[in-house]
Amino acid sequence: MNKSYYITTAIFYASAIPHIGNVYEGILADAIARFKKLEGYDVNFQTGTDEHGQKIQLKAEEQGITPQSYVDEIAIEIATIFDSVNVDYTKFMKTTDPYHKAQVQKIYTKLFEQGDIYKGHYEGHYCIPCESFFTETQLEDGKCPDCGKDVVEQKEEAYFLKLSKYQERLVNYIKDNPEFIQPESRKNEMLNNFLANELPDLCVSRSSFDWGVELPFDKEHVSYVWIDALSNYITGIGFDLDGNHSEEFNKYWPADVHMIGKDILRFHTIYWPIMLMALDIELPKQIFGHPWILTGSEKMSKSKGNLIYTDDLIKYFGIDATRYYVLHEIPYSQDGTLTYELFIERFNSDLANTLGNLVNRTISMINKYFGGEVRKPNEQTELDQELIDACEAALGRVTESMNVLKVGDSIEEIIKLLRRANKYIDETQPWVLGKDEAQFDRLSTVLYNLIETIRVSAVLLQAYMPDTAANILKQINTDVNTFESIKEFGGYVSGVTLDKPTPLFNRIKASEKLEEIENDI
């Protein structure tokens, strides 16, 4: 049996269509999931929607439809966006799913019966859009510190989860398991900012609205956010509180990675592990808080009017360029920047020039000099050996970065290999060799080496840019596409014939493209 790998994204709050800053998370998790599959793992990749809460109830009322119809529509739209960028999830989880709701009820009951949940009442400044209570000191100019909107005074009966009971155990766990919270800087943030003082109890129910999971022991109350939302990671693969777990749960839990935005790290590294400890369930192996995509220097937000949507990027640049940009440009722990200007620059330099030109030039030369036939290589020189070494090292380098989820660095390794191949063309000057028939043996070796380097790159690119990788492999007429096949140079089978190349990425004229975008807005 293959080794298993379980990766999740956060579930998206089904109140609005996500922008590229949110969709990034899906693309990131997808690249990791695809990479793991290529490594031979049985991968389960779960995403979905968080579908309860007051904000959704209010939005549905505004539109005169039921909350269920409202979230069903949004869930379809979100799934469609993911499909549009080839995010190949195993399961799209909805928290209105009946199995999930039944398990959430069992979880509440167990926590209540063992005394971890108690009834009290909540009082505070409440931001409806953010669904969060704030204390007086947290407010900024009397308004919500997260979205800047007005808050309302709210007091109501509510149930609370005793977090402090498990606090010491959690702190020890985080210290004993240095990989649990990544990147490292975020771990320190959690330990120093949130876990240094006694944790306040967590409000886990509401009684002023009813769009939530009804609490079995108090029907005046519905679930409030976290117990409902977070437990999707286990219910989605068939966890059962009574122990009748599905095969999937036994196989995939504990999760290898929960991929989440850094802004919800606290909920995933404090509330979620405490819930699991209280339920006596093993903790996930890692919580990874990815950085944000900024436009210019600001976080994307509706109120700032600087949102960039995935379908626009696809329309202007294509699916794989969009995937490439966000995967390559958003650093591991610091925020990355997305503007149309930067996008065009990166598109032209990496995709049109470094990758596109290399493939195009190489296939063109094979057509020009050998009628499209890729001949077998002859004696390899010292110069060739440098390229061969770079190819044979590529998988190891890419894997090393992927193992620590440095996805941007891992793609950069592929770009480096492509740059090396372009340099090899300058060094070997095949157009000079092509003028002299006595040099044709040498020329066929050079071209074979280039085609094999392109194949190695395409095999690696399958995780990040699946369509482009498939296109390249088709153009170089090979189906040898496994990781195993690129460990040693020479996996490409010579003797096949190539058609004329079709360009992968056409260079963009920045002024024209920016004008087109401007006219659309």
Binding region for Zn ion (CB under 5 A): 127, 129-130, 144, 146-147
Distance CA 52, CA 223 (A): 9
Task: Name which of 263 and 345 has its Cβ closer to Zn ion.
Answer: 263
Question: To which H or E segment does residue 44 belong?
Answer: strand 42-50
Question: To which H or E segment does residue 4 belong?
Answer: strand 4-9
- Residue 11 Cβ vs Zn ion, minimum distance, rounded to whole Å: 19
- Residue 100 Cβ vs Zn ion, minimum distance, rounded to whole Å: 26
What single DSSP character describes residue 324? Answer: H
- Residue 54 Cβ vs Zn ion, minimum distance, rounded to whole Å: 12
Q: Which two tokens stand for residue 74?
A: 């949004």
- Residue 427 Cβ vs Zn ion, minimum distance, rounded to whole Å: 58
- Residue 22 Cβ vs Zn ion, minimum distance, rounded to whole Å: 17
Residue 104: CB atoms within 10 A of its CB come to 27
- Residue 143 Cβ vs Zn ion, minimum distance, rounded to whole Å: 8
Task: Name which of 130 and 470 has its Cβ closer to Zn ion.
Answer: 130
- The residue type of 380 is Q
Residues in the chain, overall count: 521
Distance CA 333, CA 186 (A): 9
Q: To which residue do tokens 């509440």 refer?
A: 108
3-state secondary structure of 287: strand
Task: Name which of 146 and 392 has its Cβ closer to Zn ion.
Answer: 146
Task: Name which of 123 and 140 has its Cβ closer to Zn ion.
Answer: 140
Q: To which residue do tokens 């210290």 refer?
A: 175
- Residue 124 Cβ vs Zn ion, minimum distance, rounded to whole Å: 13
Task: Name which of 138 and 399 has its Cβ closer to Zn ion.
Answer: 138
Task: Name which of 144 and 405 has its Cβ closer to Zn ion.
Answer: 144
Question: To which H or E segment does residue 125 belong?
Answer: strand 117-127
Q: Which two tokens stand for residue 101?
A: 């709701």
Task: Name which of 130 and 279 has its Cβ closer to Zn ion.
Answer: 130
Per the rule left: phi > 0, alpha: psi between -120 and 50, beta: everything else, 142 is left
Task: Name which of 147 and 480 has its Cβ closer to Zn ion.
Answer: 147
- Residue 94 Cβ vs Zn ion, minimum distance, rounded to whole Å: 24
3-state secondary structure of 461: helix
What burial class does residue 326 get, using C-beta atoms within 10 Å of its C-beta: 0-12 exposed, 13-18 middle, 19+ buried? Answer: buried
